[in-house]
Amino acid sequence: RAVEVFALASLLAAGLAACGEDVQIQQYVESGKAFAAKNDDAAAVIQFKNALQNAPEDAEVRYLLGSALRRLGDFPAAEIELRKAVSLGFQGQIARFELASALLDLGQARKALEEIELLTAGRATPDILALRGDALAALGQTDGARNAYDEALREDPANAGALLGTARLAAVQGDFPGAAATLAQVLAAQPDNFNARLLEANLLTREGKTAEAIQSYDKALAIRPGDLRVYAALVPALLLVKDIDGADRKLESLRKASPGAPMTAYLDSLVAYARGDRVKARASIQAVLK
């Protein structure tokens, strides 16, 4: 009888421990989602990683972590997590779409296109068609890209991805007024569209309008405070207009969001060099090379 009581107590204790663990995992996940909603993806990543320590096979958390890493600009790590989410079966198209987007961010357009072709096995949505256009454009297949954007816009004339793709094609062909007009259409409807703000800043930079570009990069950072691509363009732009203190402030924000990123060390070397501190500049650039 005593043995039976002991066994029952052990089972109850194990069940309560598992229940407590599940509650803690959910708390980490909800906390991570809350941070992500406030654009604090660095904090969200920490919480999602905490959840995965006790639930490494949780497909949703893998997806959430991969998405947050992508928003931070850590595309290699994002690819790893999103591939795991796909392999674990997280909501098929959603995870694969995010994975294809991360591959495009990495410059792996052919691999991205392979994932997109899997997405288009059924009926392709306007978003998928626009993403397909981006992959084809990255591969230099301009006609195919334009056809994909046009097909997306026939189904959804306001599709932001297709409109931005069309604007990029116009810019590549030297039609900057046409690119700006299409971009303005997106920004009028979605002023907080990160990709639109980034394209706006890039176009202004190409036109030599550095001061205006800096304002657009700042707007992009307000949407995604930790995105490495913005810092990679914004810090040099600030140095170009001799605003070394402003560049240093942006760099300090980046240090908090991505202290170990090679881009952080690279930009640190630029700012140090601008200040005349060649010893620090050399140390920072050596850290990048290492």
Average pLDDT of the segment spanning 156-175: 96
User: CB-based contacts of 19: which residues, under 8 Å, 6+ apart?
Assistant: none
Contact 217, 238 (CB under 8 A): no
The per-residue pLDDT for 93 is 84
Tell me the per-residue pLDDT of 260-270, one tens digit each, with 9 for 90 and over: 889 999 999 99
Percent of the chain whose predicted confidence (pLDDT) is above 90: 78
What percent of the chain has a predicted confidence (pLDDT) above 70? Answer: 92
What's the pLDDT tens digit per position in 42-94? 899 999 999 999 899 999 999 999 999 999 888 999 999 999 999 998 877 89
Residues 6+ apart with CB under 8 A from 124: 132
pLDDT tens digits, residue range 30-44?
Answer: 999 999 999 889 899
CB 162 within 8 A of CB 146: no
CB atoms within 10 A of CB 290: 7
For residue 2, the model assigns a pLDDT of: 55
Q: Are 164 and 195 in contact (CB under 8 A)?
A: yes
pLDDT-based confidence at residue 6 (cuts at 50, 70, 90)? low
